[in-house]
């Protein structure tokens, strides 16, 4: 992961369970959350494609979330998402 404090500036659903994220350092990455979403009751709302599309970036870019600001149903932190994006990109690069 890149050193320094990062912030997410955009989150866009690519397909159900997959997001394109942009950080304030210009890095853009694809994060596949389908494996995570498949387990646990907390992720049940995200298994609905319409609900998944309602992703929000937190006011200061420290996370993404679903639900209402201040009462997030599910959230993922910026640093963890960056780790996932970089890990998944590396796996794809090795596979090609």
Q: What is the CATH number of the domain that holds 66?
A: 3.30.2020.10
pLDDT number for residue 52: 97
Q: How many domains is the chain built from?
A: 1
The whole-angstrom separation of Cα 4 and Cα 27 is 13
**Beta partners for 13?**
19
Domain that holds residue 28: 8-77
Is residue 19 assigned to a domain?
A: yes
Is residue 72 assigned to a domain?
A: yes
Predicted confidence (pLDDT) per residue in 4-36, tens digit: 789 999 999 999 999 999 999 999 999 999 999
Is residue 86 assigned to a domain?
A: no
Is residue 67 assigned to a domain?
A: yes
Give 96's pLDDT tier (boundaries 50, 70, 90): confident
pTM, full prediction: 0.89
């Amino acid at each position: 992961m890149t050193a320094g404090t990062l912030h997410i500036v955009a989150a866009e659903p690519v397909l159900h369970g997959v997001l394109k994220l942009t950080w304030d350092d210009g890095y853009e990455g694809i994060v596949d959350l389908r494996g995570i979403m498949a387990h646990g009751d907390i992720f049940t709302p995200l298994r609905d494609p319409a609900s998944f599309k309602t992703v929000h970036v937190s006011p200061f870019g420290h996370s993404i979330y679903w639900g209402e600001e201040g009462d997030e149903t599910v959230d993922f932190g910026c640093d963890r998402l960056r780790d996932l994006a970089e890990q998944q990109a590396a796996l794809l690069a090795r596979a090609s």
